[in-house]
Chains A and B, each alone.
Chain A
């Protein structure tokens, strides 16, 4: 029988063992519970790992494993008192990070470092240099631009931290301007966008608000306490009132509309063309999808949606067509 190649899970387990050994040696004497807690694992898992280590070692000069070359654990302490104490260890080195492990932390730091609340507390440049030095070879080439934040970000951070009610001037996806009073629950950053999850007093429900869509945010005073009802940070949830619209696009362009697709939206492939049924909250958003992928997306039905897209585009073209001298940048 052929053993399968080690799965990522085996790599995880090996990484854990390589980190655990020097930790246990450094601690000299540590309870199973404490060690499990330190590594965020269960006491059972810790016991299994310790037993595996205790049976391991290095082949001696003659190529056999003997007591001199094995890890030597105090079994009485371990079995009777749940205490881990090694009396001898053929290895106690702390492992370096792999190129990819270092890169993941470094790129994450680039993003976190930009947040005003953290930047002041730690010398990021020094921390990044240390990580790079602790890597086998060079960290993998991954980089992340420091995230910029909208002007309202600081106000909202303060509101969340101190439990203040906020009045936001917000523009909805339908393009409607709305002033709402909300009790903030938390801020979520996803890619380059920030969302405020808040109890909306206007709607009497929990809602997410994109910071990019806020013209202003103003602290009003202490907020009421609300139990957050949902952990999911989905901004657009499709409801039964949504309209179903069928669009066609080149099959290869499918990934480009992933942001607009819901998990239940039908996709049919016909040759090089993909036919997708989307649920949209309002037809106004269709012009936006069509323009972003101009020439690639066509709204097929219903006819009202087609007509809405056509008039949306005509309206966009109208001022330029009607433009006389004053509107023209050159004139």
Chain B
């Protein structure tokens, strides 16, 4: 009785019990019989703690992708004492026809290597572990260096969790050119990496409209208020946002001239999508404000020809720098 059951053994036993039951188990059934709960349940004294433990364990399973079903007792909807829990095997189990070739598996391994830190790294490693249940062998001829993407923005992790749990968040956002951050209350919808930056696509609950934020400009803590999200992502949310950003990138063009042979000249010619004709270099962007930041950094080696808004935005930056340091 006194044996201390490790967390993973309790969770494993819970999965086994819930997979095996056809009609579901009530909370009392689970707590009184399943390894890891039963001994403590018998002790009576910490039942409230045990129930809280069970609530947390359910959340752990859900986060691990284990489909936990709650069935209300007929006529007693919402009565947690009578509710039954089960894991429907058909929703738990990887469909039989899903198999991966050695080459595909090697590609997945490379895909996992894109993430070297944070939850994306943890999640992709866990995904590979699960896929190893298929007993595949890796194709050693597919080798190479996977490019990595960093998730250094502190906002990344809390936003991922908030999306996963459909929670609203509040964060301070520093708009370009502003010295003071403003508080935004949003329902997060998707995280998209584009042009080297992480973007949050969200429903801004303050203005009731969708907005895209740069994670780099979320300059303080992301607070999960506990309130449910007012809008949740559609299944194709992230792809749609990515497509929109790509379309915007294609349509937004700046024309610049660079001093031949300078850093500005080399870097902008190497920039993906840049075209050249007698009018100058045509540079693509999703956001003229960000481009103004980037172009102004080249100083005297660059001249912005169009659009006019960009031209004056870059000039303003230089004037501000000159004034601040004059």
Partner of B303, one of A106, A191, A310, A320: A320
- A14 engages B112 (CB within 8 Å): no
Query: Does B132 have its Cβ within 8 Å of any Cβ on chain A?
Result: yes
Question: Would you give the shortest CB distance from A84 to chain B, in whole angstroms?
Answer: 13
Which residue of A is nearest B101, CB measured?
A122
Query: Which residues of chain B are within 8 angstroms of A125 by Cβ–Cβ distance?
Result: none
Which residue of A is nearest B271, CB measured?
A212
- A313 engages B322 (CB within 8 Å): yes
Q: Contacts A56-B13, A101-B123 hold; do A15 and B325 have CB atoms under 8 A apart?
A: no
Query: Which residues of chain A are within 8 angstroms of B245 by Cβ–Cβ distance?
Result: 145
Q: Mark B1-31, 1 if CB is under 8 A from A, else 0.
A: 0000011110111011101100000000100
- A93 engages B93 (CB within 8 Å): yes
Query: Does B71 have its Cβ within 8 Å of any Cβ on chain A?
Result: no
CB contact list, B171-222 vs A, under 8 A: 172, 174, 177, 179-181, 189-196, 201, 216-217, 219-220
B67, B108, B195: which has the most chain A beta carbons within 10 Å? Answer: B108
Chain B residues with a Cβ closer than 8 Å to the other chain, count: 141
Query: Which residues of chain A are within 8 angstroms of B235 by Cβ–Cβ distance?
Result: 138
Question: Would you give the shortest CB distance from B147 to chain A, in whole angstroms?
Answer: 2
Considering the chains assembled together, what is the distance between the CA atoms of A26 and B99 in angstroms?
Answer: 14
Query: Which residues of chain A are within 8 angstroms of B301 by Cβ–Cβ distance?
Result: 175
- B132 engages A108 (CB within 8 Å): no
- A95 engages B92 (CB within 8 Å): yes
Q: Contacts A177-B261, A258-B152, A294-B296 hold; do A212 and B270 have CB atoms under 8 A apart?
A: yes
Question: Would you give the shortest CB distance from B29 to chain A, in whole angstroms?
Answer: 7
CB contact list, B80-104 vs A, under 8 A: 89, 91-95, 98, 100-101, 103-104
Query: Which residues of chain B are within 8 angstroms of A192 by Cβ–Cβ distance?
Result: 195-196
A2, A52, A191: which has the most chain B beta carbons within 10 Å? Answer: A191
CB contact list, B99-137 vs A, under 8 A: 100-101, 103-104, 107-108, 110-115, 119-135
Closest 8 pairs (CB-CB, A-B): A189-B147, A98-B65, A108-B111, A148-B272, A192-B196, A294-B317, A143-B238, A101-B127
Residues of B within 8 A of A (CB): 6-9, 11-13, 15-17, 19-20, 29, 32-35, 46, 49, 52-53, 56-57, 60, 63-67, 89, 91-95, 98, 100-101, 103-104, 107-108, 110-115, 119-135, 142, 144-150, 152-154, 160, 163-164, 172, 174, 177, 179-181, 189-196, 201, 216-217, 219-220, 233, 235, 237-239, 241-242, 245-246, 255, 261-263, 266-267, 269-273, 293-294, 296-301, 303, 305-306, 311, 315-322, 324-326
6 of the cross-chain contacts (CB-CB < 8 Å) are A13-B6, A65-B35, A103-B238, A133-B95, A177-B261, A293-B293
